Amino acid sequence: MDAFIHISSSLFLLIGSFLCLSGGIGILRFPDFYTRMHAVGVTETLATAMILIGLILYNPDFLVDVKLVIILLMTLFISPTAGHALANAAMLNDKMQKDDNKQNSEVKSSTS
Amino acid sequence: MRHTILLSLYLAAFWLANSGHYSALMLSLGVISIALVVFIAHRMDVIDHEAQPLHLTLKLPAYFAWLIKEIFVSNLLVVKHIWLGNKSISPVFMTITASQKTELGKVIYANSISLTPGTVTVNIEGDKFLVHALLTQSIKDLESGDMDRRVTQLEN
Amino acid sequence: MLIAATLAILVVMIMAIMRVFIGPTLYDRVLAVNMFGTKTVLLISLLGFVMGRPEFLDIAIVYSLINFISVIGVLRYSDHFIFKQSGQSKK
């Protein structure tokens, strides 16, 4: 039974590390901001959950397990909020830049 | 008043889980800090309006189980497309309509969309959500309304 | 296995730092810093177990909260003082 728990904890940690690395490659590889955000989403949901579940299986102390669960819940509640705020700010900035460019080109066409 | 008692109980459970020391001095310090937090919450007037949504609590576990399954599936999809490279993705902006009536339902729906990788809620105006998706297929899944229907069921 | 996972997290953090440096827009950098912060939380909790001192978890909890507040703070700042040229600036 002990060996089984040990192996499954190692398995969870391995999957978590692999998902994390995939997210890291995604953030370097994807072409623009919004697609990179999806890559970060992978590392913040399933990868974090897998690594923390691996740690929960690894150690038997109850209080430490409770703390790990608190960290997991906090990450899951925080990541969509931060992601939404970031995407919203980026979208507003894009819109503003587009308007700016339009104004500039209008000014240019009226002066030329 | 009911919410105040609930908040105190939650804070006490949180404090006990984080401390691990149960001497008299530590416990009294904990009681003082909980009283301080409840007092500040009263002064900020956030208590009794924005508390744990009691009427939802019973239906939430089934929804969470479904959401975890959904997160799992979409994670694997996104990871697959990360390894397949830039040519395999089809990023798209799309507006979808939410059928929830209360604000709480809309918040749950928007957060669920953001929590599943591959789709992010960018902007909310009324019941129109602007969603960015990594794949055209995942936005089709959202438009088919499975998640929307489940959140609406949760709300009633 | 714990040490392997720690090394993997360190590699991912280096990737995030690379994205912070190559940019190109401000929002890419904020996104990468946010990712770096969440990976730091994981690194702290893994290191606690590698060193046999799970007390590190308290620090991880506090760090995840500070990370969230710092990201929201930067975004509030960018709401008030608009970075119009963020696409071109080389800061």
> E strands of chain C, at which residues?
none
What would the pLDDT profile of B79-138 be if each residue is shown by its tens digit? 888 888 777 788 888 888 877 777 778 888 888 888 888 888 888 887 888 888 888 888
pLDDT at B47 over 80: no
Per residue of chain A (112 residues), what is the pLDDT tens digit? 788 888 998 999 999 999 899 888 888 888 888 888 888 888 888 889 999 999 888 888 888 888 888 889 888 888 888 888 888 888 887 777 777 777 777 666 665 5
Q: Lowest mean pLDDT: which of A5-19, A39-53, B140-154, C1-15?
A: B140-154
Per-residue tokens: B72: 């799992």
C-alpha angle with apex B95: B93 to B99, nearest 5 degrees?
145
- What are the Cα distances from residue A92, in Å, to A60, A100, B98, B103, B123? 48, 12, 22, 23, 9
User: Residue B107: what pLDDT?
Assistant: 84
**Tens digits of per-residue pLDDT, C22-53?**
878 888 888 898 899 899 999 998 998 888 88
Name every residue in A having a CB less than 8 A away from some CB of B.
Answer: 19, 22-23, 25-26, 29-32, 34-35, 37-39, 41-42, 45-46, 63, 66-67, 70, 76, 79-81, 83-84, 87-88, 91
Alpha-carbon distance A49 to nearest alpha carbon in chain B (angstroms): 10
Give the separation between CA C32 and CA C23, rounded to whole angstroms: 9
Measured on CA atoms in the order B77, B79, B84, B88, is the torsion positive or negative?
A: positive
B97 pairs with which residues across the strands?
Answer: B128
pLDDT of residue C7: 92
Asked whether residue C90 is assigned to any structural domain, the reply reads no
Q: Report, in angstroms and rounded to the nearest whole number, the Rg of chain C calculated over CA atoms.
A: 16
> Domain containing C7: what range?
2-80
Residue-level length of chain A: 112
Number of domains, chain C: 1
Length of chain C: 91
Name the pLDDT band for C91 (thresholds 50, 70, 90).
very low
ipTM value greater than 0.90 = no
Domain that holds residue A102: 2-111
Please indicate, yes or no, if residue C85 is contained in any of the structural domains. no
Reference A96, options C82, B137, B59; nearest CA is: C82
Q: Report the number of distinct structural domains present in chain A.
A: 1
Closest partner residue to A35 (CB to CB) among B89, B115, B116 is B89
The pLDDT, as a whole number, for residue B52 is: 56
Q: C27, A37 in Cβ contact below 8 A?
A: no
Q: What is the pLDDT of residue C90?
A: 38
